[in-house]
Structure 1
Amino acid sequence: MSVVFLIIIGAAAGFLATRFMKVETDLITTVVIGIGGALIGGFLLRGILSVLGLLSGLVGAVLGAMALIWLWQTYGPKK
């Protein structure tokens, strides 16, 4: 991502955030708030998604193990 694009997105994010929070700031402060928020939000979102990714891996592993148990009980050696 280019620096210019980051500044534009940061300015937009900062503008929206300052309006939602009803804070009046100058342009530089708005851009800095937006870029800082993007960094913090991106870091937190990446962490949350990695945890959810691990949990989805666990769910997939359990479902796969259950499928193998069902196959083994259905087609495996009979007692």
Structure 2
Amino acid sequence: MHIVWLIIVGAAAGFLATRMMRMETGILPTIAIGIGGALIGGLVLRFLLTMTGLLAGLVGAVLGALLLIWVWQTFMR
């Protein structure tokens, strides 16, 4: 069940992050960006701020996805 939740949160976070960064991607890259952001942001946010719950996971996932998009755009051009 945890993996299904990660995919759902990742898809939502990837969608929000790609729209905030004005990046046009397909469905699979958007989900991959969101899942990567969820892993990065969710873990870092939970360790640093010791926040728990669904909202903290979504906020961390969006922040992580934004960071991942920024790194991608900065170093892949």
Q: Which amino acid in 1 is paired with 2:7?
A: I
Q: Secondary structure at the match of 1:16?
A: helix
CA contact (8 A) 2:14 2:35 kept: yes
Which residue in the other structure is 1:29 paired with?
Answer: 29
Which structure ranks higher in relative contact order (CA pairs < 8 Å, sequence separation ≥ 6)?
Answer: 2
Calculate the TM-score normalised by the size of structure 2: 0.57
Once residues 41 and 25 of structure 1 are traced to their aligned partners in structure 2, the CA distance between those partners, rounded to angstroms, is 20
User: Looking at CA atoms only, which structure, 1 or 2, has the larger radius of gyration?
Assistant: 1
Report % sequence identity: 64
Q: Which amino acid in 2 is paired with 1:19?
A: R
Which residue in the other structure is 1:44 paired with?
Answer: 44
Cα deviation, residue 43, structure 1:
1.8
**Change beyond 3 A, Cα 1:46–1:12:** same
Calculate the TM-score normalised by the size of structure 1: 0.56
* Structure 2, unpaired ranges of 5+: 51-77
CA contact (8 A) 2:6 2:38 kept: no
